[in-house]
Amino acid sequence: MTPRIVVLTAVSCLWCCALLFVPVAETPHTLFLVWNLFLAGLPLVFAGALERMPSTAWGLLVGLVWLMFFPNAPYLITDLVHIKDREGIPVWFDLLVYLSFGLVGLWMGFVSLQIAQTWVSQRTSERFGWCFAVAVLWLSGFGIYLGRFRRWNSWDLLHRPLAVFEDVAARLVDPASHARTWGVTLGFGGTFVLAYLFWRLGGPHARTAGVDAAHRAR
């Protein structure tokens, strides 16, 4: 992870938090966004650690932890559902606050995914690395369903794994009875895949970035 990414992450997070203390903001109502932003930053921290793992075995362990927390980053986009008319607070300002947090969370998630994808590609192949990235993004769609509608979070995988497994298994065994589960999974997963492809491949810098990455890998 480059110093530029670290600085940009710090500045963007400070910007988001500063918005909560603008006089027009209803800070107690939106303070939960700070916690969600913290959770969204953890995948970036774990991805940075992944780059420095001395062995593949340790890398796989850190990568598993990264995967557990990764959905927290794109999840911030779904906090837009909290936008509503409140006395004394313009809707446009609510939109600014939630969209700022959501975009920063999504950016941190994409940066961490690119790091993890590069790590996987270097140990397998570029094609497998892309398959890995797409699979993670689809899984994130499922993770968003579990978080937004079932109210599970990453910590539950550690202290309530059996309950989470049972809830997930029920949807896998009988998918026809859980239309919303797969609607959210496919909808958000597909949107994240497209957004990541735009981010990685859609800009004029994409070819140059790819050449630079290839040179660094040699």
Domain boundaries along the sequence of the chain: 3-217
The tens place of each residue's pLDDT in the chain, 218 residues long, gives 888 999 999 999 999 999 988 876 565 577 889 999 999 999 999 999 999 998 899 999 999 999 999 999 999 999 999 887 777 778 888 899 999 999 999 999 999 999 999 999 999 999 999 999 999 999 999 999 998 888 888 878 878 889 888 888 988 988 888 999 999 999 999 999 999 999 998 766 564 444 344 334 43
Specify the DSSP element, H or E, that contains 117.
Answer: helix 91-123
CA–CA distances in Å: residue 90 to residues 23, 139, 163: 12, 35, 41
Q: Which of 139, 152, 132, 150 is nearest to 186 (CA)?
A: 139
Q: Which of 144, 128, 130 is nearest to 187 (CA)?
A: 144
Contact in structure between 129 and 117 (CB atoms under 8 Å): yes
What one-letter code names the amino acid at 163?
A
Q: What is the pTM of this model?
A: 0.87
